[in-house]
Structure 1
Amino acid sequence: MKPQQNGGIQLTNIDSFLNAIKCSWVKRYLDSTNTSKWKLFYQKILKKYGDSLLFECNISNTILHEIANENIFLSDVLSAWSDVTHNLETQTSSKTIIWNNKDITSNNKTFFYKDWFERSIKYVDQLYDYRIKDFYSFDNICYIYGIPSNNFLKYYTLIKSIPIHIKSEINTNNTPCTQTTFVENILGRKNKTNKIFYTLQIKNPTENSKIKNKWQVLFGENELNWKHIFTMPYKATIESTLRNFQYKYIHRIIATNKYLYKCKLSNSNLCDFCSENIETIEHLFFGSANTSSLFGIN
């Protein structure tokens, strides 16, 4: 959705709107005061993946497919949530969640050690010793978190699977990141979550630089007020046909003979009025004697 002042027509993006509605369901699910029976049904499915942890993870498509086998709606919600939160600014690597992370895999499978998660191990930085700038030894991990001594291979498989770019970025951080998570921010809001989720999916409006440059050539050094130009069709009339024509004119998408001839939809690229000059937008509305008199151009 591009605003009118940026040359858009401000239509709602249906896919983004539906994703926003699905994401709003997540807030209801994560609400600790919600004791509805439907929540218990979905909890049973998500528990094997860490339950609410999934909504903070860089979730993989493999997990989405597994969940889809049990409940398609839940898979759709998680997919929408993943798409929306993907547009957020990337968190620092020290706060990267280990579990169900598609960037941390072994044999194309993500990690989730339920017993480790229950011991509050969640982020990469919890395995990292900032004093020596390396991951803790297994003995230290056992001492800090009470991990069973027979989990030796599980630990080293995990830390060996953490990508180099995450390891190198952790080395540049002197202290662990303690920023509030996106999920916590959303849960703290009482309303307008739909709008937040929708806005997150809308990219910054692109500049109409090509259009502006072409018009600027015609008007020379005269500075053009593009905000005024783009919004004028909506202020000048409420007639949809006129608005449509003005929009096409400003964006230079009127099918003149020059364009139609290229598409082999016209026998000639010459102006229909004078039959002498190539029919471009500039000629049709400014150069032709028939139309210049209409607009009061000498």
Structure 2
Amino acid sequence: MPDGELDALLDRIPVLQGVRREVTDLDGGLTNRNVRVTTPDHDLVVRIFRGDAEQLGIDRDAEHHNSLAAAEAGVGAPVVDYRPDLGVLVIGYLLGQTLENASFRDAAVVARAADACRRLHAGPRFRGDFDMFRRQAAYRRTVEEQGYRLFTGYDDHADAWRRVRAALAVQAGPTVPCNNDLLAGNFVDDGERIWLIDYEYSGNNDPCFELGNTATECDLEPEQVEALTVAYVGRPVRHLLARVRLQSLVSEYGWSLWGAIQAGASGLDFDFHAWGQERFDKAARTFTSPIFDHLLEEVVRDD
């Protein structure tokens, strides 16, 4: 979007009309353009929607509702305005450092990240549910129907995928409000507490998916995954650790298709196919590893 169009868009947002403002693009945002807008009275982030929301399974009204709920839970940024007619969501800018994968080497950061997830999960119920098994099936149909390029060998793991779904159903607990997309850049650390941003894929889900998705998106080592799980639960629980690790696999296999769809549909200068391939390769290694059967046995335990 050229600067002139951006200025015209910002002029249509009431809180930004007729005031002096400084606009800075923020990093990240493959399905949004995020700009920081500073005025004499406000420090805001304007999220400008882009991408095919229908193909990617994004509900912008739910994103708005769930962003409000996350703010009420004390873990999300305040919501200032929502203009679906303009394709924007306006939220408060959070002071702090966005995490990097290496940040999780610090035990204090891991503890704050687990606390942030607990606060979100204990907060108001979200609008809509998130089930990666249903989403994966929808993404797979989209890839087939649109003729997008699929990763070689993807469907070879269909039987193993069904085994994972069956195993996770055995001790499935109640769902909780989850972000479902906690890559490192969606954690904002002010040094005392961590805030969670970006709720476009949010929905009520298994809390272990939240931890497992974080584990794979942030490239956590096995001992870091265990530390995050223990920090969240409060004590070591073998079947829950197995559940988190299996949900990492679920995240990888499901989200890889997001990359396949974006590779075929997006006009952005980004290698979405490589992004998806990386996640599929992770999943394939687990599906074919001796650890796979062990995790299926551990996750149905009663401890």
Q: Which TM-score bucket, shorter chain as reference?
A: under 0.3
Q: Which has the larger radius of gyration?
A: 1
TM-score by length of structure 2 reads 0.20
Bigger strand share: 2
